[in-house]
Structure 1
Amino acid sequence: MSIEQTRDRLAKVLEAPMADFGLDVEAIELSNAGRRRVLRVAVDQDGGVTLDDIAEATVEVSRLLDESDVMGQQPYLLEVTSPGTDRPLTLPRHWRRNQGRLVKVTDHDGQSVTGRILRSDDDTTTLDVDGTEQTLAYGDVAKARVQVELNRKES
Protein backbone atom coordinates (compact mmCIF):
# COMPACT_ATOMS: atom_id res chain seq x y z
CA MET A 1 0.00 0.00 0.00
CA SER A 2 1.37 3.44 -0.92
CA ILE A 3 1.95 6.24 1.58
CA GLU A 4 -0.89 8.22 -0.06
CA GLN A 5 -3.32 5.31 0.32
CA THR A 6 -2.30 4.86 3.95
CA ARG A 7 -2.71 8.60 4.57
CA ASP A 8 -6.22 8.46 3.07
CA ARG A 9 -7.13 5.49 5.29
CA LEU A 10 -5.70 7.30 8.33
CA ALA A 11 -7.86 10.35 7.57
CA LYS A 12 -10.96 8.14 7.48
CA VAL A 13 -10.04 6.56 10.83
CA LEU A 14 -9.08 9.81 12.61
CA GLU A 15 -11.20 12.72 11.36
CA ALA A 16 -14.59 11.91 12.92
CA PRO A 17 -13.22 10.92 16.36
CA MET A 18 -11.04 14.02 16.48
CA ALA A 19 -14.08 16.13 15.55
CA ASP A 20 -15.83 14.59 18.57
CA PHE A 21 -12.99 16.12 20.65
CA GLY A 22 -13.62 19.47 18.94
CA LEU A 23 -10.43 19.14 16.88
CA ASP A 24 -9.83 19.35 13.14
CA VAL A 25 -7.22 17.08 11.59
CA GLU A 26 -5.16 19.61 9.64
CA ALA A 27 -2.42 17.35 8.30
CA ILE A 28 -1.31 13.74 8.30
CA GLU A 29 2.31 13.09 7.38
CA LEU A 30 3.78 9.63 7.10
CA SER A 31 7.47 9.19 6.39
CA ASN A 32 10.09 6.49 6.63
CA ALA A 33 12.88 6.72 9.20
CA GLY A 34 15.06 3.67 8.85
CA ARG A 35 13.08 0.55 9.76
CA ARG A 36 10.38 2.64 11.38
CA ARG A 37 7.85 5.07 10.08
CA VAL A 38 6.99 8.43 11.61
CA LEU A 39 3.32 9.40 11.71
CA ARG A 40 2.67 13.09 12.41
CA VAL A 41 -0.91 14.19 12.96
CA ALA A 42 -1.52 17.95 13.20
CA VAL A 43 -4.73 19.01 14.96
CA ASP A 44 -6.21 22.45 15.57
CA GLN A 45 -9.37 24.16 16.78
CA ASP A 46 -10.77 27.66 17.09
CA GLY A 47 -8.79 29.43 19.80
CA GLY A 48 -5.81 27.11 19.27
CA VAL A 49 -4.84 23.90 21.03
CA THR A 50 -3.28 23.51 24.44
CA LEU A 51 -0.81 20.91 25.65
CA ASP A 52 -3.73 19.17 27.38
CA ASP A 53 -5.61 19.04 24.05
CA ILE A 54 -2.55 17.51 22.39
CA ALA A 55 -2.13 14.97 25.20
CA GLU A 56 -5.80 13.89 24.98
CA ALA A 57 -5.62 13.71 21.19
CA THR A 58 -2.45 11.61 21.38
CA VAL A 59 -4.13 9.07 23.67
CA GLU A 60 -7.18 8.90 21.39
CA VAL A 61 -5.18 8.64 18.15
CA SER A 62 -3.02 5.91 19.68
CA ARG A 63 -6.14 4.00 20.77
CA LEU A 64 -7.74 4.33 17.33
CA LEU A 65 -4.60 3.11 15.59
CA ASP A 66 -4.27 0.17 17.97
CA GLU A 67 -7.87 -0.85 17.22
CA SER A 68 -7.45 -0.64 13.44
CA ASP A 69 -5.05 -2.28 11.02
CA VAL A 70 -4.39 0.94 9.12
CA MET A 71 -0.70 1.12 10.12
CA GLY A 72 -0.03 -2.57 9.53
CA GLN A 73 2.66 -4.46 11.43
CA GLN A 74 5.66 -2.20 10.74
CA PRO A 75 6.72 -0.17 13.82
CA TYR A 76 5.99 3.54 13.84
CA LEU A 77 6.50 6.60 16.00
CA LEU A 78 3.38 8.71 16.62
CA GLU A 79 3.62 12.49 16.98
CA VAL A 80 0.48 14.55 17.54
CA THR A 81 1.08 18.28 17.23
CA SER A 82 -0.47 21.60 16.34
CA PRO A 83 0.13 23.08 12.89
CA GLY A 84 3.09 25.40 12.73
CA THR A 85 2.98 29.02 11.69
CA ASP A 86 4.43 28.03 8.33
CA ARG A 87 1.28 26.11 7.41
CA PRO A 88 -0.34 27.51 4.27
CA LEU A 89 -3.78 29.08 4.71
CA THR A 90 -5.98 26.93 2.47
CA LEU A 91 -9.38 26.76 4.19
CA PRO A 92 -11.71 29.47 5.55
CA ARG A 93 -11.12 28.20 9.09
CA HIS A 94 -7.36 28.81 8.70
CA TRP A 95 -8.03 32.46 7.87
CA ARG A 96 -10.52 32.83 10.75
CA ARG A 97 -8.10 31.28 13.24
CA ASN A 98 -5.35 33.70 12.21
CA GLN A 99 -7.38 36.90 12.48
CA GLY A 100 -5.12 39.75 13.56
CA ARG A 101 -2.01 38.17 12.09
CA LEU A 102 0.10 39.43 9.23
CA VAL A 103 -0.11 37.31 6.06
CA LYS A 104 1.56 37.32 2.68
CA VAL A 105 -0.88 36.43 -0.09
CA THR A 106 0.00 35.58 -3.69
CA ASP A 107 -2.69 35.44 -6.36
CA HIS A 108 -2.79 33.17 -9.43
CA ASP A 109 -1.03 35.87 -11.51
CA GLY A 110 1.93 35.91 -9.11
CA GLN A 111 1.03 39.28 -7.57
CA SER A 112 1.68 39.46 -3.82
CA VAL A 113 0.26 41.58 -1.03
CA THR A 114 1.03 41.58 2.68
CA GLY A 115 -1.59 42.65 5.20
CA ARG A 116 -3.18 41.92 8.54
CA ILE A 117 -6.31 39.73 8.60
CA LEU A 118 -9.22 41.85 9.83
CA ARG A 119 -12.07 39.39 9.30
CA SER A 120 -12.93 36.28 7.30
CA ASP A 121 -16.07 34.42 6.28
CA ASP A 122 -16.72 31.30 4.20
CA ASP A 123 -15.85 33.00 0.89
CA THR A 124 -13.57 35.98 1.52
CA THR A 125 -11.06 37.54 3.84
CA THR A 126 -10.44 41.22 4.46
CA LEU A 127 -6.91 42.46 5.04
CA ASP A 128 -5.56 45.75 6.32
CA VAL A 129 -2.92 46.58 3.72
CA ASP A 130 -1.07 49.74 4.79
CA GLY A 131 -4.24 51.21 6.33
CA THR A 132 -6.54 50.26 3.44
CA GLU A 133 -9.02 47.39 3.63
CA GLN A 134 -8.67 44.90 0.81
CA THR A 135 -11.12 42.01 0.42
CA LEU A 136 -9.89 38.84 -1.29
CA ALA A 137 -11.91 35.86 -2.48
CA TYR A 138 -10.28 32.58 -1.45
CA GLY A 139 -10.60 31.37 -5.05
CA ASP A 140 -8.24 34.16 -6.13
CA VAL A 141 -5.53 33.09 -3.65
CA ALA A 142 -2.79 30.82 -4.99
CA LYS A 143 -0.67 30.86 -1.82
CA ALA A 144 -0.96 32.45 1.63
CA ARG A 145 1.21 32.16 4.73
CA VAL A 146 1.33 33.83 8.11
CA GLN A 147 4.37 36.07 8.51
CA VAL A 148 6.33 35.65 11.73
CA GLU A 149 6.55 38.92 13.66
CA LEU A 150 9.22 38.89 16.34
CA ASN A 151 8.76 42.46 17.58
CA ARG A 152 5.07 43.11 16.98
CA LYS A 153 3.66 46.05 18.88
CA GLU A 154 0.11 45.35 20.07
CA SER A 155 -2.27 48.13 19.07
Structure 2
Amino acid sequence: MEFKTELSRLLNEFLETRPDLFLVDLKISATSDVTVILDGDNGVTLQDCLDASRAIEFNMDREIHDFSLQVMSSGLSEPLEYPRQFRKNIGREIEVMLNDSSEVEGELLSVDDEKVVLRLEYRRPKLVGKGKEDVVEEREILYTDIKKALVVIKF
Protein backbone atom coordinates (compact mmCIF):
# COMPACT_ATOMS: atom_id res chain seq x y z
CA MET A 1 0.00 0.00 0.00
CA GLU A 2 1.25 3.50 -0.79
CA PHE A 3 2.84 5.32 2.16
CA LYS A 4 0.52 8.34 2.17
CA THR A 5 -2.58 6.18 1.75
CA GLU A 6 -1.60 3.94 4.66
CA LEU A 7 -0.72 6.96 6.81
CA SER A 8 -4.08 8.59 6.06
CA ARG A 9 -5.92 5.35 6.82
CA LEU A 10 -4.25 4.98 10.23
CA LEU A 11 -4.87 8.63 11.07
CA ASN A 12 -8.55 8.36 10.08
CA GLU A 13 -8.95 5.20 12.17
CA PHE A 14 -7.54 7.08 15.17
CA LEU A 15 -9.80 10.10 14.56
CA GLU A 16 -12.86 7.81 14.38
CA THR A 17 -12.16 6.84 17.99
CA ARG A 18 -11.86 10.52 18.95
CA PRO A 19 -14.77 12.47 17.37
CA ASP A 20 -13.77 15.58 19.36
CA LEU A 21 -10.53 15.82 17.33
CA PHE A 22 -10.11 16.62 13.65
CA LEU A 23 -7.31 16.88 11.12
CA VAL A 24 -6.21 20.36 10.10
CA ASP A 25 -3.26 19.39 7.92
CA LEU A 26 -1.15 16.41 6.92
CA LYS A 27 2.20 17.21 5.31
CA ILE A 28 4.67 14.71 3.91
CA SER A 29 7.97 16.03 2.61
CA ALA A 30 10.07 14.45 -0.13
CA THR A 31 12.32 13.02 2.60
CA SER A 32 9.31 11.42 4.39
CA ASP A 33 9.14 13.92 7.22
CA VAL A 34 5.49 13.65 8.29
CA THR A 35 3.73 16.50 10.10
CA VAL A 36 0.22 16.01 11.42
CA ILE A 37 -1.65 19.08 12.73
CA LEU A 38 -4.73 18.37 14.84
CA ASP A 39 -7.38 20.55 16.41
CA GLY A 40 -10.21 19.70 18.73
CA ASP A 41 -13.58 21.01 19.79
CA ASN A 42 -12.16 21.36 23.32
CA GLY A 43 -8.54 21.91 22.37
CA VAL A 44 -5.76 19.36 21.95
CA THR A 45 -3.70 18.00 24.82
CA LEU A 46 -0.20 16.56 24.78
CA GLN A 47 -1.77 13.15 25.44
CA ASP A 48 -3.96 13.56 22.33
CA CYS A 49 -0.83 14.17 20.24
CA LEU A 50 0.92 11.17 21.81
CA ASP A 51 -2.09 8.92 21.15
CA ALA A 52 -2.25 10.00 17.49
CA SER A 53 1.49 9.52 17.11
CA ARG A 54 1.32 6.02 18.59
CA ALA A 55 -1.64 5.08 16.39
CA ILE A 56 0.55 5.80 13.37
CA GLU A 57 3.99 4.87 14.68
CA PHE A 58 3.05 1.44 16.07
CA ASN A 59 1.25 0.39 12.88
CA MET A 60 3.78 1.42 10.22
CA ASP A 61 6.73 -0.74 9.26
CA ARG A 62 9.91 1.32 9.16
CA GLU A 63 11.63 -1.52 7.30
CA ILE A 64 9.32 -0.84 4.36
CA HIS A 65 9.29 2.96 4.58
CA ASP A 66 11.48 5.00 6.94
CA PHE A 67 9.94 8.27 8.12
CA SER A 68 9.99 10.85 10.88
CA LEU A 69 6.71 11.83 12.54
CA GLN A 70 5.64 15.00 14.29
CA VAL A 71 2.09 15.39 15.66
CA MET A 72 1.07 18.81 16.96
CA SER A 73 -1.92 20.92 17.79
CA SER A 74 -2.98 23.86 15.70
CA GLY A 75 -1.61 26.88 17.55
CA LEU A 76 -3.15 30.31 18.05
CA SER A 77 -0.91 31.67 15.32
CA GLU A 78 -2.36 29.20 12.81
CA PRO A 79 -5.17 30.46 10.56
CA LEU A 80 -8.72 29.24 11.10
CA GLU A 81 -9.81 27.17 8.12
CA TYR A 82 -12.72 24.92 9.06
CA PRO A 83 -16.15 25.67 10.55
CA ARG A 84 -15.23 23.56 13.59
CA GLN A 85 -12.23 25.81 14.24
CA PHE A 86 -14.36 28.93 13.96
CA ARG A 87 -17.08 27.38 16.17
CA LYS A 88 -14.69 26.72 19.05
CA ASN A 89 -13.62 30.38 18.95
CA ILE A 90 -17.09 31.92 19.28
CA GLY A 91 -16.86 34.87 21.67
CA ARG A 92 -13.24 35.65 20.75
CA GLU A 93 -11.93 38.51 18.66
CA ILE A 94 -10.78 37.43 15.21
CA GLU A 95 -9.10 39.28 12.37
CA VAL A 96 -10.32 38.36 8.90
CA MET A 97 -8.45 39.17 5.70
CA LEU A 98 -10.86 39.10 2.79
CA ASN A 99 -10.20 38.12 -0.81
CA ASP A 100 -10.62 41.78 -1.85
CA SER A 101 -7.59 42.63 0.39
CA SER A 102 -9.71 44.42 3.02
CA GLU A 103 -9.53 43.44 6.69
CA VAL A 104 -12.13 43.35 9.45
CA GLU A 105 -11.73 42.62 13.14
CA GLY A 106 -14.53 41.78 15.51
CA GLU A 107 -16.07 39.39 17.97
CA LEU A 108 -17.08 36.06 16.46
CA LEU A 109 -20.80 35.72 17.24
CA SER A 110 -21.92 32.67 15.28
CA VAL A 111 -20.84 30.09 12.75
CA ASP A 112 -22.61 27.79 10.30
CA ASP A 113 -21.45 25.69 7.36
CA GLU A 114 -21.44 28.65 4.93
CA LYS A 115 -20.55 31.78 6.89
CA VAL A 116 -19.44 33.46 10.10
CA VAL A 117 -21.05 36.44 11.82
CA LEU A 118 -18.85 39.11 13.43
CA ARG A 119 -19.80 41.98 15.71
CA LEU A 120 -17.84 45.00 14.53
CA GLU A 121 -17.27 48.12 16.63
CA TYR A 122 -15.70 51.17 15.03
CA ARG A 123 -15.87 54.97 14.69
CA ARG A 124 -16.90 56.71 11.51
CA PRO A 125 -17.63 60.29 10.47
CA LYS A 126 -21.18 61.35 11.38
CA LEU A 127 -23.64 61.09 8.53
CA VAL A 128 -25.01 64.53 9.47
CA GLY A 129 -22.84 67.20 11.06
CA LYS A 130 -19.24 67.21 12.20
CA GLY A 131 -17.38 64.73 14.35
CA LYS A 132 -17.43 60.97 14.64
CA GLU A 133 -19.88 58.44 15.97
CA ASP A 134 -19.54 54.94 17.45
CA VAL A 135 -21.00 52.18 15.32
CA VAL A 136 -21.80 48.59 16.30
CA GLU A 137 -22.94 46.25 13.55
CA GLU A 138 -23.12 42.58 12.75
CA ARG A 139 -21.54 41.42 9.51
CA GLU A 140 -21.94 38.08 7.79
CA ILE A 141 -18.87 36.81 5.95
CA LEU A 142 -18.98 33.80 3.65
CA TYR A 143 -16.11 31.32 3.92
CA THR A 144 -15.56 31.76 0.19
CA ASP A 145 -14.78 35.46 0.84
CA ILE A 146 -12.17 34.71 3.54
CA LYS A 147 -8.54 34.66 2.52
CA LYS A 148 -7.19 34.20 6.06
CA ALA A 149 -8.64 34.38 9.57
CA LEU A 150 -6.68 34.55 12.82
CA VAL A 151 -7.62 34.70 16.48
CA VAL A 152 -6.53 38.06 17.96
CA ILE A 153 -4.26 37.48 20.92
CA LYS A 154 -4.71 40.06 23.68
CA PHE A 155 -2.57 40.39 26.77
Per the TM superposition, whether the score is higher than 0.5 is yes
Identity level (%) = 29
**Structure of larger gyration radius:** 2
Gaps of 5+ in 2: 122-135
CA RMSD of aligned residues (A): 2.5
Whether the 8 Å contact between 1:124 and 1:135 is mirrored in structure 2 is: yes
Equivalent residue runs for 1:1-155 within 5 Å: 7=4, 10-22=7-19, 23-31=21-29, 37-66=32-61, 72-74=64-66, 76-130=67-121, 131-149=136-154, 151=155
Counterpart amino acid of residue 79 in structure 2: P
| Residues 63-98 of structure 1 deviation map (CA, whole Å, 9 limit, x = unaligned) | 2334xx8x9533x32111111112222221121122
| Residues 38-68 of structure 1 deviation map (CA, whole Å, 9 limit, x = unaligned) | 32111122111122222222211212334xx
Whether the 8 Å contact between 2:10 and 2:56 is mirrored in structure 1 is: no
Q: What SS class does the counterpart of residue 52 from structure 1 fall into? A: helix
With normalisation by structure 2, the TM-score equals 0.74
Counterpart amino acid of residue 85 in structure 1: L
Q: Which has the higher helix share?
A: 1
Cα distance in structure 2, aligned partners of 1:96 and 1:65:
34
Whether the 8 Å contact between 1:14 and 1:64 is mirrored in structure 2 is: no
| Residues 105-132 of structure 1 deviation map (CA, whole Å, 9 limit, x = unaligned) | 1222111101121221111111121143
Alignment partner, residue 127 of structure 2: none
- Residue 147 of structure 1 deviates from its aligned partner by 2.2
With normalisation by structure 1, the TM-score equals 0.74
Q: Which has the higher strand share?
A: 2
Gaps of 5+ in 1: none
Counterpart amino acid of residue 12 in structure 2: E
Counterpart amino acid of residue 45 in structure 2: T
* Equivalenced residues, count: 139
Counterpart amino acid of residue 137 in structure 1: L
